[in-house]
Structure 1
Amino acid sequence: MKCLVTGATGYIGGRLVPELLDAGHEVRCMVRSAGRLRDQPWAGRVEAVQADAADADGTRKALDGVDVAYYLIHTMGGGKDFAASDRRAAATFAAAAGDAGVRRVVYLGGLAPKEGLSPHLRSRAEVGQIFLDSGVPAVVLRAAVIIGSGSASFEMLRHLTERLPVMTTPRWVRTRTQPIAIRDVLRYLVGWATVEQEVNRSFDIGGPDVLTYAGMMHVYASVAGLPRRLIIQVPPLSPGLSSHWVGLVTPVPASIARPLVESLRNEAVCHEHDVARYVPDPPEGLIGFGDSVALALQRIKEAKVVTRWSSASTPGAPSDPLPTDPDWAGGSLYVDSRARRVKASPGALWTVIESIGGERGWYSLPVAWRARGILDRLVGGVGLRRGRRDQRHLRVGDSVDFWRVEEVEPGRLLRLRAEMRLPGLAWLELSVEHDQDGTLYRQRAVFHPRGLAGHLYWWSISPFHSLIFGRMPRNVAAAAEAETMPESMPESMPEGPLREIRPAR
């Protein structure tokens, strides 16, 4: 079966693709930036097509020859017009699927009642209905909280429970929901690729347990070996205030937490299990909530988190590539360049560079980085607490705190693009060079200001560069030297950083 997967750089899509491949299907991925798939372990087994779901011509070409199309696109934390954008994209995709003769569209939506929906759940319901009314047979799977290592819902639950032994909570912690393990979600998605009957309807999917959010926190604490949590309900906390509270306590920023919190106001319990007539339950049954938590924690412990909620691009984050022309004529660029000789092997230096951020930090003044992360969260950004998917290895598209990996050349170059809230675009490049004099560490921070605010921002933070960027070469070098001290390394090397700062042109 030939399958098209949209959202392949996201949490669900990034896990669905290898499951479809392992089931023997041919997979084509439709992404806005094909380069984001380059470092995926399954990249060589799929066809990548670059297109936007709102682009009719590009989408039509991507769907050519496809039997089953998976639509896994939904705006999280978008602006006021996110619902209209979602409707346009879904309508465009549905029309293109009809023109291409697609046999089935599979959409993963949200489980909720018909009335009193939050804006994001309402949007998901609208998108599902667009596919059901399109004329192309569609299967809309409606899920509530998805539990798996790296999912936004799981990370929110995990950090709230672990960090707050006593907590005051809003009313939504008493709302019933029916969580489902990511493994069961993927099993349903893959199963629909081979169902022969023509089906056009929605299905509720959920695990075997119905719990309140407070109940999920208690179960999580038990599975994780934590003391029972004390939960005190405070009704006045609104979803807006709750999302900011979640943003302060967990790695999930308020912009992403808000739609999750708003959806928890609605009871999300399955009213039917008809999906089992087409994709039968496994002999051992669906995965219970406690088991799904245990599986997720085990994956985290083993550092086998395949995708995370932050795998998808952050709404509103810049996507422009770094200008490579040193005499770029597209506008002003500020560049802070530094370099340092390192008494270590290139491999040891690269090991330090590739493990930067997350638990390791930024080899600079920690308080300065923490302050920048807090400031970013206060203005609605992602801050530093996103961390990393894998503490030792990076691939294009990974998030590293408030950066996104734009380029990785193993052993040589790491380029990060800023996703913090800025009046401009920013990148940080860390590279390794090796010549007759030994190993050289190079570091380059690049900023492209937008308007007067961008220029003022650069000059206002310039005095802090020596605190933030100035200490990095010395500390990175020290960490690399601690990794190894090869006998072939020269005894005497030039000490001190080599520095060049270029102002705007």
Structure 2
Amino acid sequence: MSPSRVLVTGATGYIGGRLVPRLLARGYVVRVLARSPQKLTDVPWAGEVEVVEGDLHDPDAVERAMADVDVVYYLVHSMRARGDFEDEESAAARTVAAAAKEAGVRRIVYLGALHPDGPLSRHLRSRVAVGRILLESGVPTVVLQAGVVIGSGSASFEMIRHLTEVLPYMPAPRWVRNRIQPIAIRDVLHYLLAAAELPPEVSRGFDIGGPDILRYGQMMNAFAVEAGLRQRPIASLPVFTPWLASQWVNLVTPIPRSLAVPIIESLQYDCVMREHDIDAVIPPPPEGLTGYRRAVRLALAKERAGEVETSWQDASVAGAPSDPLPSDPEWSGHTVYTDVRERDSSADPELLWRVVEGIGGERGWYSFPLAWALRGWADKLVGGVGLRRGRRDADHLNTGDALDWWRVERIERGRSLRLRAEMLVPGRAWLELAVRPRDGGGSHYRQRAVFFPRGLAGRLYWFAILPFHGVIFNGMANRIVYEAEHPGAASRVARPLDAAVGESADA
């Protein structure tokens, strides 16, 4: 019997990016539907999957992706805070439901959200609606309803971590007293994998969660204990509306406002399991479900070891530019501003490249850190991603990775790195860093900033920051070359890794 073929939607996301390699390890033939296939270029399993380009709003692409598929994983959910995303999500679910029925798919698996009865936030309401549409598709469907997912790189974990680490005292809204049943990422994956093999008569929603029910404030202080921090006093303030809370999260954590809003809205309710029927069809893992503190411990070990498999950082940013940099001939007739800096270096090209690939995150941008920090804060104030988004891995970058307010658009290992700006600017911006070997030894470094202004505001923006370019970009080029040339630069670039914890797979 040939292996089952599985279609994963959302394979570039936090959950999907972890599920795919585990499906492959179990012998499934995996196909992914991706709106931006280039994001998959550098993932370790890229050569082992079939890729169909398109999204869930394209019936033709969905139909192509469904051909000869046995199981469909629906792992897509909009995290936009504005617009008619509820209608769009329902339309996408209907497209998938119809195509799955037509293609003879034997199972749909959808990851939804724990929710109470009664009025819900827009995002919870949308997830419930998507689950209902899939259950009514005529295809056997399992809707797994999970609460806060705890794992290295998850948005919920990162929000807890930064709020706890940054604030010695936590003024908080009343929802910090709401009850939550968090679940470890390893347990979510356990249920997702097992759901593919359920018999066809199983078609319904199931609540899933970890063994602990906690208040949000308790989750923060339990994190503090595992991270070796002092527990934080938390004051519940009734004046903290969801909107104000999301602005607060946006300012004091790397989580952008567009992502903070749906998370905060979902925390307005007690989100705990109302039934444990899942145990009858999918038993817990042999070692038992993972408690909250152990999940935190595993996630911290992964982050300290630099082994974060997927991260919220790599999710697409709503409203951010996504078009690639046009080739130079396409610039004809357009207003384009550039800033080019070049340096010859005595450093070996490999060492210079290591400095380039290690840029950003904790290491910063090698010039005028105050200016970078102020620009990042300005971006956060207007709802952008800011400079503190960081990077998933301290030493290596892949296509599609987030890097502070940039996105890795293209990387040619050892040669060039192109970054696309996702900060809020009146135009489109890129930064290119390139390394070439030099005749006679050493290397040549080239740095180019490119800006396509939008209207008068874009032109005024460029000329307003132009006086700073001589300091920022010139200093950046000089420092990158300096780091590569001087003794000890290699040790600063290669970050030592903490010993990985053996049990931290799937953290």
Which of 256, 262, 268 pairs up with 2:259? 256
SS at match of 1:476: helix
1:352-391 pair list within 5 angstroms: 352-391=355-394
1:162 and 1:221 map into 2 onto residues whose CA distance is: 8
2:334 and 2:35 map into 1 onto residues whose CA distance is: 25
Which of 413, 432, 444 pairs up with 2:448? 444
SS at match of 1:162: helix
CA contact (8 A) 2:135 2:141 kept: yes
Cα gap change, 1:53/1:330 in structure 2, threshold over 3 Å: closer, same or farther? farther
1:496 paired residue number: none
SS at match of 1:359: helix
1:466 aligns with 2:475: no
**Cα RMSD (Å) of the superposition?**
1.4
2:500 paired residue number: none
SS at match of 2:243: helix
2:117 and 2:431 map into 1 onto residues whose CA distance is: 47
After TM superposition, give the deviation of residue 484 of structure 1 in Å.
Answer: 7.2
SS at match of 2:464: helix
Cα gap change, 1:330/1:400 in structure 2, threshold over 3 Å: closer, same or farther? farther
After TM superposition, give the deviation of residue 109 of structure 1 in Å.
Answer: 1.0
CA contact (8 A) 2:483 2:489 kept: no
Q: Percent identity?
A: 57
Write out per-residue CA displacement over residues 427-470 of structure 1, whole angstroms, 9 at most, x where no aligned residue: 10000011215311000111112222222222222122112212
CA contact (8 A) 2:187 2:285 kept: no
1:8-407 pair list within 5 angstroms: 8-326=11-329, 328-329=331-332, 331-407=334-410
1:78 and 1:439 map into 2 onto residues whose CA distance is: 46
1:480 aligns with 2:484: yes
1:180 and 1:275 map into 2 onto residues whose CA distance is: 14
The runs of 5 or more residues in structure 2 that have no matched partner are: 491-507
After TM superposition, the structure 1 stretch with the greater mean CA deviation from structure 2, 314-323 or 221-230, is 221-230
CA contact (8 A) 2:140 2:203 kept: yes
CA contact (8 A) 1:69 1:104 kept: yes
CA contact (8 A) 1:109 1:141 kept: yes
After TM superposition, give the deviation of residue 327 of structure 1 in Å.
Answer: 5.4
The runs of 5 or more residues in structure 1 that have no matched partner are: 487-505
Paired residues in the alignment total: 486
Write out per-residue CA displacement over residues 148-184 of structure 1, whole angstroms, 9 at most, x where no aligned residue: 0000000000111112121111100000010000000
1:398-437 pair list within 5 angstroms: 398-437=401-440
Write out per-residue CA displacement over residues 14-54 of structure 1, whole angstroms, 9 at most, x where no aligned residue: 10101111111111111011111010011111111111110
SS at match of 1:107: strand
1:340 and 1:54 map into 2 onto residues whose CA distance is: 47
Task: Give the AA of the match of 1:160.
Answer: L
2:501 paired residue number: none
After TM superposition, the structure 1 stretch with the greater mean CA deviation from structure 2, 75-84 or 23-32, is 75-84
Cα gap change, 1:334/1:390 in structure 2, threshold over 3 Å: closer, same or farther? same
1:332 and 1:110 map into 2 onto residues whose CA distance is: 46
Cα gap change, 1:327/1:217 in structure 2, threshold over 3 Å: closer, same or farther? closer
After TM superposition, give the deviation of residue 104 of structure 1 in Å.
Answer: 1.2
1:440 and 1:392 map into 2 onto residues whose CA distance is: 21
1:325 and 1:98 map into 2 onto residues whose CA distance is: 46
CA contact (8 A) 2:314 2:402 kept: yes
After TM superposition, give the deviation of residue 329 of structure 1 in Å.
Answer: 3.1
After TM superposition, the structure 1 stretch with the greater mean CA deviation from structure 2, 300-309 or 450-459, is 450-459
After TM superposition, give the deviation of residue 123 of structure 1 in Å.
Answer: 1.0
